[in-house]
Structure 1
Amino acid sequence: MKKIMLAAAALALTAGMGMAQTVRIGTEGAYPPFNFVNDKGQLDGFEIELGNELCKRAELQCTFVKNDWDSIIPNLVSSNYDAIMAGMNISEERKKAIQFSEEYLPPPLSAYAATSADADIEGTVAAQTSTIQAGYIAESAATLLEFPTGEETIAAVRNGEADAVFADRDFLAPYVNESNGDLVWVEGQDKVVVGEGIAIGMRKSDTELKGKFDKAIESMKADGSLNAMIQKWYGPEALIF
């Protein structure tokens, strides 16, 4: 009888270990250095590394799902995955549809880039659709020109379709730095604060999952590992906690 009880206990323990919560995380895979597809065809970037570490600390089994940006919130709400890590800024408009974790990046600086430092930012400005930057331009004096991806917004500036592009500075920086002067920051408009911070998006009903992610984020802030990871991906001058 004792052997049977011990075997049953071992089986229960093994079953419990195998029943760790599986969480699917949606990401765009097209917004470096936040998230992108590397040369091996794998999802990579700051949010992939961070997501894996958060899941480890929260004792979650996580997988990443690539999804186009313009449908990333609808597919979360429809339960095609359980969370979003895609450079998503907290905003009042988004809070109407989903809830957010504690922020894992401070409110990132946005910037205007163009082919000339004195470009007209009240002319036609390109921005990625459904982003907080697109909302900002829509409320400005400029004419908003929206595109599905960030790369298309930059192409619109280069081919003269738009006077400037407005996006996260960290996203634009590599394009500006590697353009040999073909793409530059607009004078005095390269450090614009928009949004409340970058965080994990979840369905409003998933309060337990939010609690687990919040606790993991807080632990990384407390031990300094989150700041170290931010500076690894965004450089020593990146905004940190």
Structure 2
Amino acid sequence: MKKLLVAAAALAFSAGMGLAEGQTVRIASEGAYAPYNLINDKGELDGYEIELGNELCKRAGLTCTWVKNDFDAMIPNLLSSNFDAIMAGMSITEERKKAIAFTQNYLPPVPSAYAALSPDVDVKTSVVAAQTGTIQSTYVAESGAKLVEFPTFDEAAAAVRNGEADAVFADKEFLVPLVKEGQGFAWVGQDVPLGDGIGMGLRQSDTELHDKFDAAITAMKADGSINELIKKWFGPEAQTYAH
């Protein structure tokens, strides 16, 4: 299993210092990007990011609540203070860092990929579906293909099935079930590396909150607990961190 090096030993980690007494931190997720985040049988947000976020809040001594929000409205609503943080499979990119701050990644970079009903689709000249507001939709728009965007990944994949698009472009891990579970999809072309991994998004002014979450992520990488969650939700072959 490929592992990424964690650059330094865990930082000393002090919980709950300096934030307002009893402050509740509202974290937004989409609930439509399993296993990153999903809606479980009880109608509640669940998945890797929700379990990880709850543990980060516990280690930081924070009271956290979860807010369901559409992915393409995440950054505007964060900046409008409708919530305080984003954990929604959001890739760390230079363009997004112009508007918001990110913690270090809590999932290492994974490639994006194309999938279609035929491996012979020319993704440079075809109609390609992607989820609105993602790094994949930006990439397709700049690739020469005709981009069609959808609010959720499931809708983007469905567009290929019903003929509205020739291929779908998304995180490769998210496409694996379409290709490997008899759903009629095949890989098209080579993997495409995008972004610097998945991180928590916060307002640039919330430096103390950023530092607390960042320290908690560092601690979980150092003690191996973040790897346990990655394997639980993404499988034993998922890319993890060395510690």
Q: Does 1:204 align with 2:204?
A: yes
What is aligned with 1:231?
231
Q: In the alignment, does 2:84 pair up with 1:87?
A: no
User: Distance in 2 between the 1:209 and 1:146 partners?
Assistant: 33
Q: Which position in structure 2 is the counterpart of 1:11?
A: none
TM-score (norm 2): 0.88
CA-CA distance at 1:154 after TM superposition = 0.3
Measured after TM superposition, the shift of residue 181 of structure 1 is 4.5
User: Which residue of structure 2 lines up, in the alignment, with residue 175 of structure 1?
Assistant: 178
Task: Name the SS for the 1:71 alignment partner.
Answer: helix
For residue 32 of structure 1, what is the aligned residue in structure 2?
A: 34
Shift of 1:197: 1.1
Equivalent of residue 148 in structure 1, options 122, 133, 151: 151
Residue 139 of structure 1: CA displacement?
1.3
1:182-193 equivalences under 5 Å are 182-186=184-188, 188-189=189-190, 191-193=191-193
**Structure 1: how far apart are the matches of 2:70 and 2:183?**
30
TM-score normalised to the size of structure 1?
A: 0.88
The CA distance in 2 between the partners of 1:111 and 1:84, in whole Å, is 24
In the alignment, does 2:211 pair up with 1:216? no
Residue by residue over 1:57-116, the C-alpha shift from the partner in whole angstroms, topping out at 9 and shown as x without a partner, is 111111110001111110000000000000000111111111001110111221111101
Q: Kindly report structure 1 stretches of 4+ aligned residues shifted beyond 4 Å.
A: none
| Deviation sequence 1:1-56 (CA, Å, 0-9, x none) | xxxxxxxxxxxxxxx9x934310001111111100101111111000000001101
**Which structure is higher in helix share?**
1
Corresponding residue for residue 164 of structure 1: 167
Once residues 140 and 147 of structure 2 are traced to their aligned partners in structure 1, the CA distance between those partners, rounded to angstroms, is 6
Instruction: Give the match for residue 53 of structure 1.
Output: 55
Structure 2 gaps of 5+ residues are: 1-17
Distance 1:236 1:119 in 2: 31
Q: Deviations over 1:137-184 (max 9, x none)?
A: 111121111111111100111111111000011222223333x24122
Q: Tell me which of the two structures has the higher relative contact order, counting C-alpha pairs closer than 8 angstroms and 6 or more residues apart.
A: 2
| Cα distance in 2, alignment partners of residues 32 and 118 from structure 1 | 28
| Structure with greater strand percent | 2
2:81 and 2:93 map into 1 onto residues whose CA distance is 21
Deviations 1:191-230 (A, max 9, x none): 3211111000000100000000000000000001111211
SS in 1 for 2:78: helix
Distance 1:25 1:232 in 2: 22
What is the aligned partner in structure 2 of residue 3 from structure 1? Answer: none
User: How much identity, in percent, do the aligned residues show?
Assistant: 66
Q: 2:100 aligns with which of 98, 101, 110?
A: 98
CA distance in 1, matches of 2:155, 2:234: 22
Aligned equivalent of 1:137: 140
For 1:66 and 1:151, locate their aligned partners in 2 and report how far apart those are by CA, in whole Å: 17
Q: Helix, strand or coil: the match of 2:199?
A: coil
1:82 and 1:153 map into 2 onto residues whose CA distance is 28
